[in-house]
Structure 1
Amino acid sequence: MKKKNLLFVMPSLSAGGGEKSLVNLLSQINFDQYNVDLFLFSKKGEFLTLLPREVRVIEPTRNHLIFTTSLKKSVGIFLKNRQYYLAYSRFMFTIKNRMIKNSAISEQYTWKYHGASFDILKKEYDVAIGFLEKSSIYFVVDKVKSKKKIGWIHTNYSNSGMDYKYDSPYFKQLDNIVAVSQECANSLKAQFPHLSNKIKVIFNIVSPEIIRTLSNEEIQDNCLSEKNYISIVTVARLSEEKGIDQAIKSCKILISKGYEIRWYVIGEGNERERLEQIINNNDLNNHFKLLGIKENPYPFINRADIYVQPSRYEGKSIAIDEAKILGKPIIVTNFKTAKDQIANGVNGLIVDMSEEGLSLGVEKLIKEEELKDNLIRNLAKEKLGTEEEIKKVYEMF
């Protein structure tokens, strides 16, 4: 049987939920049936080393590399090469990004300028997948020749800040739109009722066997080694929607009540400087630590007393699924998709989306040992692997 040619498109493989989801999916692909190419806008990211060796990584052409340099340098080179439209596009890309404060809408409205730096791919594919909302999907529609085109949405569209009017003509050209949870699918159907028949739910692929094996590795950092404090771990990008600022303030409340807390956050992002300032202002340097990106976060989750997801909104959090697999007592804020993963009081706690709500949830698990044990016991009974989701992917292909 002739192999099908697949193309996946992503901006990069930096540490994030969508990126991890892609690496997990690719690790389950049957390479006897599929040739897999991965187009990256930028060949960088912590997950690059985790790609299966059968995946062929494609990088952009020279024009895009020039486009990503400074405004002065890129415009200068394009003008020198008489590439006047690219020089104009690079200039407008910068102007629009400065004018539009909403980062989600900014990525949408600047695509026509950003997209000018990419060539149409010469190879024709059986299936092309834009594996992240916005630019990855726009690239698949505008720059790829393929018999079938699919877009993956990893967030709750209603809370994403995106302009549905911009996405609508792109989504019409997709054969399928994949949502990572039922709540995310419902959100898409509410925004795009005329496309409901294209929307499918495919959960993020997680492998309990791999996660449990990796969780037994040693931690090199000098943390989570002592037992004279309550350890909390959060895995999240340092961005506004992940609510790390709420976590810091809830840590302050807990310390003021006399609890000895060490709260560790694994992840990186554009809010680091602001979050460090909040930590300093609240004198929490010994209690709240931003550890940055860890290639293997599982030993940190495994050694924690409590796992907390303080997000303002999520699509379907892979980190929560991983904490469930490792049997951690879990606290999540009451974002829209929280109930897709946590049954309150059964396999975790859902608390108010505030520093007070988070601190009360942590305090409850500290005080009520029986509740904590029940959560752990119930998690042990759950079937938590989603490797079988790959069958839905094959059916769609």
Structure 2
Amino acid sequence: MANGKKKVLIVNNNLATGGVQRSLVNLINQVKGQYDLTLFVFDYSGDYVKLIPSQVKVIEASPLLKLLGMSQAQTKKLGFRFYATRAAFALYTKIFSNHLPISMLVSTEKKLSGFDVAISFLHNADEKSLYGGCNEFVLNRVNASQKITFNHCDFSNYGGNTPRNRAVYKQFDKIAAVSEGCRQSFIKAVPELEERTCCVNNCHNYAEYINKANVKPVEYPKGGLNIVTVARLSPEKGILRGLDVIKRLVKENYRIRWNIVGDGSQKSEVEKEILINHLSEHVILYGNQDNPYQYIKNADLFFLPSFHEAAPMVFDEAKCLGVPIITTNTTSAKEMVIEGLEGIVCGNNEEGIYRAIKRVLDEPLVIEKCRDYLRTQNHTNQTAIEQFRKLLSEEGL
């Protein structure tokens, strides 16, 4: 230990905008004074680089390992050789799997030593994606007394629940799931690791959410229900089935407006559905925004119609801004949204979504009760920090 503080290495792919990266930055800022922290990042780039405190030592990977933290387009700045190398590995991954590419890229990095604890903060994706490698890096390129991995996904269902991935997890001393729902999903897939698996909630920067929400908050039209979604426009988020529900409610003459902040692979499809169904006055697309909180603050409801989720950070963001939630029943929904007090957890299907929103339209007091409750809550990271402290201790879970 240096200066009496435990030497901790945390490994992640990059610091681009994303839930895992945001959770990492928030955690580092919460515990920076309690440990001698070193951050190893495959590609030290992204919007959150500026949020890493100066006392945290940062190590960036060599150019070959950087490829695991970059998109194909980003590698152009490294030159043709690296662009072609990543393209070849990506093609191999699609045809076979990411096992060999990850193993080869990780092996190019020199070994790190001298740490009490080494943490892999990012789980691997499905085996047809050239993404991940943090687990393999911590296991094979770091010498540490204790090795820990974080799990930010619905492991049983997310696509990476494979024999090889399960074997990788068995090599870690402890596994930290970011919610009890995520923990249960992992244990269901790898029951023999139950004793090594604990829950460490995501950390949040609540003061930042509130401050940003108060910077020119969006004013929505009066006289109808204004719901907001902040999410990628990708299939798992259920945006298209959300549009079907809005279309149905509009046909029934309900006054409703769905404000969507985000971008993604389904953007053109979503835009097309809005036009075809004459929903332009009822569904507004804002695209990606640096400050999504100014869109959440004055909404009547936060709405997430996802098919599957792990532990969405945006739930706690909305709650600290006093905005009730309607969410489908995904892995951690009932754990993170108290029914009737913080919002509504509905059936994970179109009919369930329809009934939940219609209930709010017919009975506005349902949401007023939630809003009153949320205003009385004190949002802190105390539980998450205590869980993290216990995770890094030598004692059992």
CA contact (8 A) 1:164 1:191 kept: no
Superimposed CA distance per residue, residues 127-156 of structure 1 (whole angstroms, 9 cap, x where no aligned partner): 221112112222222232222211110112
Q: Which amino acid aligns with 2:116?
A: D
Q: Displacement, 1:235?
A: 1.9
Check 1:174–1:311 CA distance in 2 against 1; reply closer, same or farther (3 A cut): same
Match of 1:275 in 2: 270
Check 1:346–1:45 CA distance in 2 against 1; reply closer, same or farther (3 A cut): same
Q: Which amino acid aligns with 1:111?
A: I
1:77 aligns with 2:72: no
Superimposed CA distance per residue, residues 229-253 of structure 1 (whole angstroms, 9 cap, x where no aligned partner): 4321112233222222222222222
Check 1:108–1:178 CA distance in 2 against 1; reply closer, same or farther (3 A cut): farther
1:385 aligned residue (380, 389, 392)? 380
Check 1:166–1:370 CA distance in 2 against 1; reply closer, same or farther (3 A cut): same
1:144 aligns with 2:142: yes
Check 1:47–1:233 CA distance in 2 against 1; reply closer, same or farther (3 A cut): farther
C-alpha separation between the residues in 2 aligned to 1:160 and 1:108? 18
Check 1:8–1:276 CA distance in 2 against 1; reply closer, same or farther (3 A cut): farther
CA contact (8 A) 1:74 1:90 kept: no
Check 1:45–1:77 CA distance in 2 against 1; reply closer, same or farther (3 A cut): closer
Q: Which amino acid aligns with 2:95?
A: M
Paired residues, what number? Answer: 379
RMSD of Structure 2 on Structure 1 (CA): 3.0
1:248 aligned residue (243, 261, 264)? 243
Q: Which amino acid aligns with 1:141?
A: L
Check 1:66–1:45 CA distance in 2 against 1; reply closer, same or farther (3 A cut): closer
Q: What are the equivalent positions in structure 2 for 1:108-257 lying under 5 Å apart?
A: 110-116=101-107, 118-134=108-124, 135=132, 136-219=134-217, 224-257=219-252
Q: What are the equivalent positions in structure 2 for 1:45-124 lying under 5 Å apart?
A: 45-64=46-65, 77=81, 90=86, 93-99=89-95, 110-116=101-107, 118-124=108-114
Match of 2:41 in 1: 40
Check 1:371–1:268 CA distance in 2 against 1; reply closer, same or farther (3 A cut): same
CA contact (8 A) 2:310 2:330 kept: no
CA contact (8 A) 1:15 1:267 kept: no
Check 1:381–1:288 CA distance in 2 against 1; reply closer, same or farther (3 A cut): same
Q: Displacement, 1:352?
A: 2.2
Q: What are the equivalent positions in structure 2 for 1:310-325 lying under 5 Å apart?
A: 310-325=305-320
Superimposed CA distance per residue, residues 348-388 of structure 1 (whole angstroms, 9 cap, x where no aligned partner): 11222233332332222122122121122233344542334
Q: Displacement, 1:301?
A: 1.2
Check 1:66–1:139 CA distance in 2 against 1; reply closer, same or farther (3 A cut): closer
CA contact (8 A) 2:42 2:66 kept: no
Q: Which amino acid aligns with 1:63?
A: L
Q: Displacement, 1:65?
A: 5.0
Match of 1:303 in 2: 298
Q: Displacement, 1:90?
A: 4.8
Check 1:74–1:256 CA distance in 2 against 1; reply closer, same or farther (3 A cut): same
Check 1:216–1:108 CA distance in 2 against 1; reply closer, same or farther (3 A cut): farther
Q: TM-score, normalised to structure 1's length? A: 0.84
CA contact (8 A) 1:16 1:237 kept: no
CA contact (8 A) 2:201 2:383 kept: no
CA contact (8 A) 1:6 1:127 kept: yes
Percent identity, aligned pairs only, is: 31
Superimposed CA distance per residue, residues 275-319 of structure 1 (whole angstroms, 9 cap, x where no aligned partner): 333333333344323333333322211111111111111221211
Check 1:37–1:270 CA distance in 2 against 1; reply closer, same or farther (3 A cut): farther
CA contact (8 A) 1:93 1:113 kept: no
